[in-house]
């Protein structure tokens, strides 16, 4: 098998690793959805940008680093392994930008892409609606043409970091017809426009990352459209492919969590084995981590070679979301009752001495987020439909 | 991060697949599989038996990643018997023994005139030993011996007829200690090869099942249109691909002589066994009653899977072995590319 990185790629990896070692904040930043977290993350993004790591593989004329997808993957992996902060413009970098670069006009690229890289604009994703989750094509937020404008009415929901964003890429209905997919258009909506209302939703883990967004007679120019009118579905599917694909879940993230589980086991092996987290369970997790890593590595190769059967993103989404849940389950089992506690006042001093880091406090929060990931990005059940119908060629479900 | 099969490896897989397309496992199922000679010379001709034999000894020397793909094809075709024992375990023993000159048997293996069986402490019965010229014997006392003929063996009657014939080894005319070969090297090769075979068996079970549920109609439509069937099959696709990825990594670890290659082989076997067990359960369940007949060919792979699942160490055995090492942190340096 070819597994080597080129000499130049190795140099890039080593430089990146060193830079991250020297620069990644030692203490975790406050969450992005809080005002102080937003500020801290902006400062961090500025440092990344100054070091040339804003958007490694995007073209230089739009503010990117002009390097290959392999470099991007190397960067993502090192970034995850270093435990660096979540990217502030996560949806701009992973979804909006690549979609604009692939489907946008030159004017649109010049207008939006640079401003994603330097975080002048923060983006959010407007796909799901209260009545349209897995059945995304049934969406009802309407855009009615009025001269050179669309007038938008409706509601989006589960919009991650919607309250931070000043732009949304969204799917809207531009025509009704027997085939709901054929009446959808991909548009860019300024969140600052009058008639846009954003409300944060408190999640079961206490986070307030997800939002609902209301549109009341919101007017946007037609040149905010990506692709043709009523042709937004194909653009959206490409975007979702990115969401399930290579860039979203670098293996290093799970490597890091797995190693943390190992460290918990080493600290208090007897307690953890009493909890039933035995050697075989650890070996099984290792196999899952390795399996995800090398499946993704194959996928990365296929996506740069334009080969493969196109199934990779769906398989990847199932692999990494279920791995993430399994890792959190193992971590919480290793922590036992402690997994529900925070490191704040009242914690027994012997426990605090055993766990001098505070990483474990994030595990119950992270567990619930991992559960959310099985639902978003096209639920895991939808991925199973895709695999069964498009890859195995099984017949569509019978509709009465 | 770059992880792709080379052109040579893909060509090799095509060659093996091309030869095995003519192999009719179903015809041979339940019998003693007739004469091994034809299969053996074909597998030698395509370079499978000599995959780990150096070129100067007449081997194809295509390496571990190619061999894993080739064994996967053997599992798919339903070739049971001493392919894994000869091409992987036996070849490794012949290759790593340095104190004695074993170039003659290496040459014979690559040419398809030598059959090797194996016996390890987790697998005390030897496959197809009546046809074997050599048996690799790995004891738990830390020794590896090479038994050579004439071998004295007893056929162990199987509980049910199946594709797998096992023997109790009473002894051989000669027993040559291979001092340079460790039992863990033998175990690791058995695990790596068995993972390849299991991935192929599982792929065949999946293909047969997908074909069947697409044709079989109940309630006026193909049963494969029901989501209960689709989702179960989709999950198995995911598990199969993950198992293939781990096997590819493990094979690569051997090709590149990485320090974690034995543990990687254990993970490959552990995950392949766990996956194939689920594949077997679903395959028979989704076929319904027809899958339970001796006449229908599914049974060949079902029975083969059951044997290979537990041969050379169960899923639990391998996961526990690797888990213990990881927790103890006994291995220096990165494991599985984990920092």
pLDDT the model gives residue B232: 98
- Point out the residue among A74, A281, A298 whose CB comes nearest to the CB of B245: A298
Put simply, whether B210 touches A (Cβ < 8 Å) is yes
User: What tokens appear for B108 in the block?
Assistant: 């014979």
Distance in angstroms (rounded) separating the CA atoms of residues A82 and B71: 39
Q: What is the pTM of this model?
A: 0.93
pLDDT the model gives residue B333: 47
Q: Residue A385 above 70 pLDDT?
A: yes
| Least trusted range by pLDDT, from A120-129, A291-300, A340-349, B314-323 | A340-349
Put simply, whether B245 touches A (Cβ < 8 Å) is yes
Catalytic residues of A, by residue number, are 243
Q: How far is A97 from chain B (nearest CA, A)?
A: 24
List all residues of chain A from 308 to 367 with a beta carbon under 8 Å from chain B.
311, 315, 318-319
Smallest CA–CA distance from A264 into chain B, residue: B327
Whole-complex ipTM: 0.93
Smallest CA–CA distance from B265 into chain A, residue: A287
pLDDT digits (tens, 9 = 90+) for A90-104: 999 999 999 999 999
- Point out the residue among B2, B318, B321 whose CB comes nearest to the CB of A301: B2
Beta-bridge partner residues of A220: A150
Q: How far is B333 from chain A (nearest CA, A)?
A: 14
Q: Parallel, antiparallel, or unpaired: how do β-strands B134-138 and B221-222 relate?
A: unpaired
Q: How many residues does chain A have?
A: 400
Put simply, whether A301 touches B (Cβ < 8 Å) is yes
List all residues of chain A from 69 to 88 with a beta carbon under 8 Å from chain B.
70, 73-74, 77, 81
pLDDT the model gives residue B30: 46
pLDDT digits (tens, 9 = 90+) for A251-284: 989 999 999 899 888 887 777 777 778 899 999 9
Q: How many angstroms separate the first and last alpha carbons of chain A? A: 49
Distance in angstroms (rounded) separating the CA atoms of residues B206 and B204: 5
Put simply, whether B314 touches A (Cβ < 8 Å) is no
pLDDT the model gives residue B338: 44
Report the 10 Å Cβ neighbour count for A274.
10
Put simply, whether B330 touches A (Cβ < 8 Å) is no
Q: How far is A41 from chain B (nearest CA, A)?
A: 27
- Point out the residue among B222, B264, B329 whose CB comes nearest to the CB of A266: B329
Cβ separation of A388 and B1 shorter than 8 Å? no
Q: Parallel, antiparallel, or unpaired: how do β-strands A210-221 and A196-200 relate?
A: antiparallel
Distance in angstroms (rounded) separating the CA atoms of residues A385 and B233: 10
Say if residues B269 and B192 touch (Cβ distance below 8 Å): yes
Q: How far is A29 from chain B (nearest CA, A)?
A: 24
pLDDT digits (tens, 9 = 90+) for A104-146: 999 999 999 999 999 999 999 999 999 999 999 999 999 999 9
Cβ separation of A1 and B241 shorter than 8 Å? no
Q: Say which residue the tokens 């040459």 belong to.
A: B107
- Point out the residue among B224, B327, B336 whose CB comes nearest to the CB of A395: B224
Distance of CA A250 to the CA centre of its chain: 10
Cβ separation of B319 and A258 shorter than 8 Å? no
The DSSP symbol for B158 reads P
Cβ separation of A318 and B318 shorter than 8 Å? no
User: Which pLDDT band, with edges at 50, 70 and 90, does A353 fall under?
Assistant: confident
Beta-bridge partner residues of A188: A169
Vertex B310, ends B305 and B311: CA angle to 5°?
90
Residues of chain B with pLDDT under 70: 1-2, 25-35, 140, 330-339
Cβ separation of A1 and B320 shorter than 8 Å? no
As a three-state string, the secondary structure of chain A is CECCCCHHHHHHHHHHHHHHHHHCCCCCCCCCCCHHHHHHHHHHHHHHHHCCCCCCCCCHHHCCCCCCHHHHHHHHHHHHHCCCCCCCCHHHHHHHHHHHHHHCCHHHHHHHHHHHHCCCCCEEEECCECCECCCHHHCCCEEEEECCEEEEEEEEEEEECCCCCCEEEEEEECCCCCCHHHHEEEEEEECCCCCEEEEECCCCCCCCCEEEEEEEEEEEEHHHEECCCCCHHHHHHHHHHHHCCCCCCCHHHHHHHHHHHHHHHHHCHHHHHHCCCCHHHHHHHHHHHHHHHHHHHHHHHHHHHCCCCCCHHHHHHHHHHHHHHHHHHHHHHHHHHHHHCCCCCCCCHHHHHHCCCCHHHHHHHHHHHHHHHCCCCCCHHHHHHHHHHHHCCCCCCCCC
Q: What is the mean pLDDT of residues A148-153?
A: 98
Quote the radius of gyration of chain A (alpha carbons, Å): 22
User: Which pLDDT band, with edges at 50, 70 and 90, does A359 fall under?
Assistant: confident
List all residues of chain B from 57 to 96 with a beta carbon under 8 Å from chain A.
65
Q: Please count the residue pairs, one from chain A and one from chain B, whose beta carbons lie less than 8 angstroms apart.
A: 192
- Point out the residue among B214, B234, B246 whose CB comes nearest to the CB of A287: B246
Chain B environment of A4 (Cβ under 8 Å) = 2
Q: Say which residue the tokens 């009242």 belong to.
A: A346
């Amino acid at each position: 098998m070819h597994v080597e990185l080129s000499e130049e790629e190795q140099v890039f990896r080593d430089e990146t690793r060193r830079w991250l070692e020297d620069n990644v904040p030692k203490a975790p930043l406050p969450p992005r959805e809080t005002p102080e977290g937003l500020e801290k993350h902006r400062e961090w993004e500025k440092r990344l940008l100054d070091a040339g790591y804003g958007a490694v593989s995007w073209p230089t004329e739009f503010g990117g680093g002009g390097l290959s997808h392999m470099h991007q993957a190397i960067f993502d992996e090192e970034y995850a392994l270093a435990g660096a902060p979540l990217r502030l413009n996560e949806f701009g970098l992973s979804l909006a930008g690549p979609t604009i670069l692939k489907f946008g006009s030159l004017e649109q690229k010049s207008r939006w892409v640079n401003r994603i890289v330097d975080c002048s604009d923060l983006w959010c994703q407007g796909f799901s609606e209260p009545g349209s989750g897995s059945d995304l094509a049934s969406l009802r937020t309407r855009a009615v043409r009025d001269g050179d404008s669309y007038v938008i009415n409706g509601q989006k929901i589960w919009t991650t970091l919607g309250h931070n964003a000043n732009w949304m890429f969204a799917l809207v209905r531009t025509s009704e017809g027997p085939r709901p997919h054929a009446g959808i258009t991909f548009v860019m909506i300024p969140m600052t426009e009058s008639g846009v209302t954003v409300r944060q939703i408190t999640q079961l883990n206490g986070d307030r990352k997800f939002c609902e967004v209301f549109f009341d007679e919101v007017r946007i120019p037609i040149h905010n459209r990506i692709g043709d009118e009523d042709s937004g579905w194909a653009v959206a599917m490409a975007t979702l492919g990115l969401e399930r694909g290579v860039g979203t879940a670098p293996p290093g993230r799970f490597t890091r969590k797995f190693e943390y589980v190992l460290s918990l086991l080493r600290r208090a092996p007897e307690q953890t084995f009493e909890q039933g987290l035995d050697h075989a369970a650890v070996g099984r997790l290792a196999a899952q981590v390795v399996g995800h890593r090398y499946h993704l590595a194959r996928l990365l190769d296929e996506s740069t070679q334009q080969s493969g059967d196109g199934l990779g993103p769906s398989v990847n989404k199932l692999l990494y979301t279920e791995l993430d849940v399994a890792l959190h389950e193992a971590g919480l089992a290793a922590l036992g009752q402690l997994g529900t506690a925070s490191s704040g006042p009242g914690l027994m001093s012997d426990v605090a001495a055993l766990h001098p880091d505070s990483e474990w406090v994030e595990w119950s929060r992270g567990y619930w987020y991992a559960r959310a990931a099985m639902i978003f990005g096209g639920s895991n059940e939808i991925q199973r439909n895709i695999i069964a119908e498009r890859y195995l060629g099984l017949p569509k479900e019978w509709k009465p | 991060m770059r992880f792709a099969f080379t052109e040579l490896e893909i060509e090799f897989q095509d060659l093996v697949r091309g030869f095995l397309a003519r192999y009719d496992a179903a015809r041979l199922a339940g019998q003693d599989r007739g004469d091994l000679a034809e299969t053996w010379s074909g597998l030698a001709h395509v370079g499978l038996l000599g995959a780990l034999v150096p070129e100067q000894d007449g081997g194809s020397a295509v390496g571990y990643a190619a061999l894993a793909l080739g064994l996967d094809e053997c599992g798919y075709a339903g070739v049971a018997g001493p392919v894994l024992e000869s091409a992987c375990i036996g070849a490794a023993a012949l290759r790593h023994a340095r104190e004695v000159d074993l170039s003659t048997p290496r040459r014979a293996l690559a040419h398809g005139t030598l059959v090797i069986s194996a016996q390890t402490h987790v697998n005390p019965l030897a496959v197809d030993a009546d046809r074997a010229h050599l048996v690799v014997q790995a004891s738990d006392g830390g020794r590896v011996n090479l038994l050579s003929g004439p071998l004295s063996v007893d056929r162990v009657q199987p509980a049910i007829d199946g594709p797998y014939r096992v023997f109790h080894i009473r002894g051989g005319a000669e027993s040559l200690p291979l001092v340079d070969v460790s039992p863990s090297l033998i175990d690791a090769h058995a695990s790596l090869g068995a993972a390849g075979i299991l991935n192929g068996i599982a792929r065949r079970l999946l293909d047969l099942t997908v074909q069947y549920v697409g044709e079989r109609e109940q309630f006026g439509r193909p049963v494969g249109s029901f989501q209960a069937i689709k989702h179960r099959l989709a999950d198995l696709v995911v598990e199969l691909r993950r198992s293939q990825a781990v096997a590819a990594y493990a094979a690569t670890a051997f090709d590149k002589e990485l320090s974690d290659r034995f543990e990687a082989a254990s993970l490959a076997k552990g995950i392949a066994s766990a996956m194939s067990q689920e594949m077997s359960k679903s395959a028979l369940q989704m076929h319904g009653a027809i899958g339970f007949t001796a006449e229908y060919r599914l049974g060949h792979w079902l029975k083969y899977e059951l044997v290979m699942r537990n041969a050379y160490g169960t899923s639990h055995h391998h996961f526990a072995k690797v888990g213990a090492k990881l927790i103890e942190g006994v291995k220096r340096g990165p494991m599985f590319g984990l920092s």
